[in-house]
Amino acid sequence: MASLLPIEINLTAVIMAVQADEPLVYASSAGDGLPQGLPSGPFDPLNHRTLELGLRGFAQDQAGLELGYVEQLYTFGDRGRTVADGQQADALPSPHVVSIGYLALTRIFPGATDPSNFLPLYAFFPWEDWRGGKPGALERDILPALARWAEGNGPDHGSADRRALSRKERIALHFGSEGPSFDEEKVLERYELLYDAGLVEEALRDRRLPPASLPVKLGQAMAFDHRRILATALGRIRGKLKYRPVIFEMMPETFTLTDLQRKVEAISGHHLHKQNFRRLVETGGLVEPTGGQTTTGGRPAALFRFRRDVLTERPAPGLRLGRSG
Amino acid sequence: MASLLPIEINLTAVIMAVQADEPLVYASSAGDGLPQGLPSGPFDPLNHRTLELGLRGFAQDQAGLELGYVEQLYTFGDRGRTVADGQQADALPSPHVVSIGYLALTRIFPGATDPSNFLPLYAFFPWEDWRGGKPGALERDILPALARWAEGNGPDHGSADRRALSRKERIALHFGSEGPSFDEEKVLERYELLYDAGLVEEALRDRRLPPASLPVKLGQAMAFDHRRILATALGRIRGKLKYRPVIFEMMPETFTLTDLQRKVEAISGHHLHKQNFRRLVETGGLVEPTGGQTTTGGRPAALFRFRRDVLTERPAPGLRLGRSG
DNA sequence: GTAATAGTGTCTTTCAGACAGTATGAC
DNA sequence: GTCATACTGTCTGAAAGACACTATTAC
């Protein structure tokens, strides 16, 4: 009944925070020139009462952080993943490692939190930040390279979910600026598309090709499948913002509405309409004024705090964000 | 680096279908009087190229079904779970078994599919079916028993997400007919609440108490943590119906709109407003008429098929269901 | 005709999205 | 006063939710 080949379970943490209007993720490198990696380690049932407690232990040991909000993301069966076009995958760790990815949200406390290992999230996904308009890398690098890849339209592998989609359709669906437009939650789908197209460093590494054959450098690479887990995390939190007040896990005790909006925009990757955002957040009962004010160079802003009661009042209190503004 | 205690990964499949207006799940019993269990088995990296392929193998071997749509649900770290009030958990399987739950959707083909092991889903969760109005078990059995449990308001254990909630608050939030009302997606939360309150058979079994101490019988019990996985699956598909056209994975090639609505209601557990449903589905471009008709005892109904193009046209084509009607 | 089921036309209320404005500080 | 940032009042159009109605079969 027990399997012959021993299995190791790896727990990997995506620890997110937002500083001013910059989304951050905890990552560290094992040495010069080595890719950044997320806090992770093997699940040991002798030491860890539950999976989540094991993960919290690694975050404590490796990042020195006591995690608050934690949620499970996904379980990946192969760290060096299956590879397109019939090539055999045999990346660094043996294939019997199963990774369970987790998302954790935390606050940055100036002074108390060491910010040096919190890196800008969009360094890993430059094409996901639309706050300054359409990212330049899209038109310049990504779409032409994807178009070239779509020309050689081989049979696509992959899960049953995308079974009927051709390369061109996948590109139009996930990167298309016309038609279905850019769905900000499809972060993983976009990353996997770039991976399948051989446009991210990890794809070449897993196929044992030299990185020199990369046509363009699309974001910073990570160790193992950590960038895939990070993509899963970004997609998940972008979706979750809309129906859960998770943003407050990353806010200080009191904050201004402008600051709140900046941080939401930082995560979701696009600008929001100011008046609508305020209406949503205030009439939705998500926040309440503290009475205090801050001075910020113009008219002083009122301070707010999270209204915790909303959790017991409404089933899905979120920010139902529409775009633009 | 390798953990000392060997770990076994168990893959468990929730295979759902809908017959007429009855939601079904594949489950079988190992023998007389033994609880029903879902198709499952150990992941063996030597035989299974990926987790999902392993799962498909078990479904084929144990249920004789070739699965189409499959999605991962959640990974549970302990099959005999941690127990309330400081008692030690030591249920049947050793604690180093990790279960990965999957949701699969399938069609029932009269003749080709053996229906004998497809059991009515709501036999396991009678309180989740509101199509006939508020379930009788709620007022009669569940709420009084929960109220009694809330009286002895001990310190609640559990995940950080519900850290601040008292027993009374959890009851009001997930079962409350006033205030936040009954959120049909919170199937797991309700099951876990009943588990924590000792109102489902599995809770007593895991605490090694005799089943005789159950005040009422709330649905049929299942082996291991299979009912928890099933609850996760029901909650997931209820949510997913709203933004993905997954219902068509359980529909035949052609169908009437009334039949489609019946099956959606079967899954989501409440009635829908007929006109709004039709408008949604037609103007949303989810279906197209085939031109054919059926005769059903009244006016003949037009036949429709799923409009597959919608997948490439809109980012989140679902049924955005509101209630009632 | 009745019973049964299928299908439509249109009203009302809510709310997302956007317009353009006013308020209060520093200098 | 200007500049900068904070904040608000109100219009519009799209949908969600619900009303009552008509259509086509079997008997």
Indicate if the pLDDT at residue B211 is higher than 60: yes
Task: Give the minimum alpha-carbon distance from B296 to chain A in angstroms, rounded to a whole number.
Answer: 34
Query: What single DSSP character describes residue B8?
Result: E
Residue nearest to nucleotide C23 (CA to C1'): A299
DSSP calls for B247-311: GGGGS-SEEEHHHHHHHHHHHHSS---HHHHHHHHHHTTSEEEEEEEE--SSSPEEEEEE-TTHH
Task: Give the minimum alpha-carbon distance from A295 to chain B in angstroms, rounded to a whole number.
Answer: 33
Test B7 with A9 for CB contact under 8 angstroms.
yes
pLDDT score of A213: 74
Q: Comparing A67-71, A163-167, A197-201, B106-110, which segment has the lowest mean pLDDT? A: A163-167
Indicate if the pLDDT at residue B159 is higher than 50: no
Residue nearest to nucleotide D24 (CA to C1'): B299
Of all nucleotides in the shown strands, which has a C1' nearest the CA of A321? C16
Backbone angles phi, psi at B61, to 5 degrees: -70, -45
A301 touches strand D (CB under 7 A): yes
Query: What single DSSP character describes residue B134?
Result: S
Indicate if the pLDDT at residue A29 is higher than 50: yes
Residue nearest to nucleotide D4 (CA to C1'): A298
Q: How far is CA A286 from CA A166, A271, A280, in A?
A: 43, 20, 8
Mean per-residue pLDDT of chain A: 86
CA B263 to C1' C6, in angstroms, rounded, equals: 17
- Phi and psi based region of residue B121 (left: phi greater than 0; alpha: psi -120 to 50; beta: remaining): alpha
Q: What angle in degrees, to the nearest 10, is found between the helix axes of A274-283 and A257-268? A: 110
| Element spanning B113, H or E | none
Q: What is the pLDDT of residues B38-86, one digit of tens each?
A: 999 999 988 898 999 999 999 999 999 999 999 999 999 976 554 333 3
Test B44 with A5 for CB contact under 8 angstroms.
yes
Q: What is the pLDDT of residues A113-125, one digit of tens each?
A: 788 999 999 999 9
Q: Which residue shows structure tokens 């904050």?
A: A255
Q: How would residue B128 be classed by pLDDT, with cut points 50, 70 and 90?
A: very high
Nucleotides of C under 7 A from a protein CB: 3-10, 16-20, 23-26
pLDDT (mean) for B268-280: 92
Of all nucleotides in the shown strands, which has a C1' nearest the CA of B272? D17
Contacts of A232 in chain B (CB under 8 A): none
> Tokens standing for A189?
């789908």
B242 touches strand D (CB under 7 A): no
Q: Where are the alpha helices (DSSP H) in chain A?
A: 51-58, 136-137, 143-151, 167-175, 187-196, 201-206, 226-240, 257-268, 274-283, 310-313
Test A312 with B173 for CB contact under 8 angstroms.
yes
CA A283 to C1' D13, in angstroms, rounded, equals: 21
Contacts of B1 in chain A (CB under 8 A): 42
pLDDT score of B110: 81
Q: What angle in degrees, to the nearest 10, is found between the helix axes of B187-196 and B226-240? A: 150
Task: Give the minimum alpha-carbon distance from B257 to chain A in angstroms, rounded to a whole number.
Answer: 24
Indicate if the pLDDT at residue B33 is higher than 90: no
Sign of the torsion formed by the C-alpha atoms of B198, B199, B203 and B207: positive
Q: Are B320 and B266 in contact (CB under 8 A)?
A: no
- Residue A46's Cβ-count burial label (10 Å; 0-12, 13-18, 19+) is exposed
CA atoms within 13 A on the CB side of B240: 19
> Tokens standing for A271?
């600008």
A256 touches strand D (CB under 7 A): yes
pLDDT score of A87: 38
Contacts of B311 in chain A (CB under 8 A): 165, 173
Of A7, A52, A169, the CB nearest to B7: A7
Test B44 with A3 for CB contact under 8 angstroms.
yes
Contacts of B312 in chain A (CB under 8 A): 165, 169, 172-173, 179-180
Task: Give the minimum alpha-carbon distance from A186 to chain B in angstroms, rounded to a whole number.
Answer: 9
pLDDT score of B88: 42
pLDDT (mean) for A280-292: 92
pLDDT (mean) for B250-270: 95
pLDDT (mean) for A72-99: 63
Indicate if the pLDDT at residue A157 is higher than 70: no
Q: Where are the alpha helices (DSSP H) in B24-65?
A: 51-58
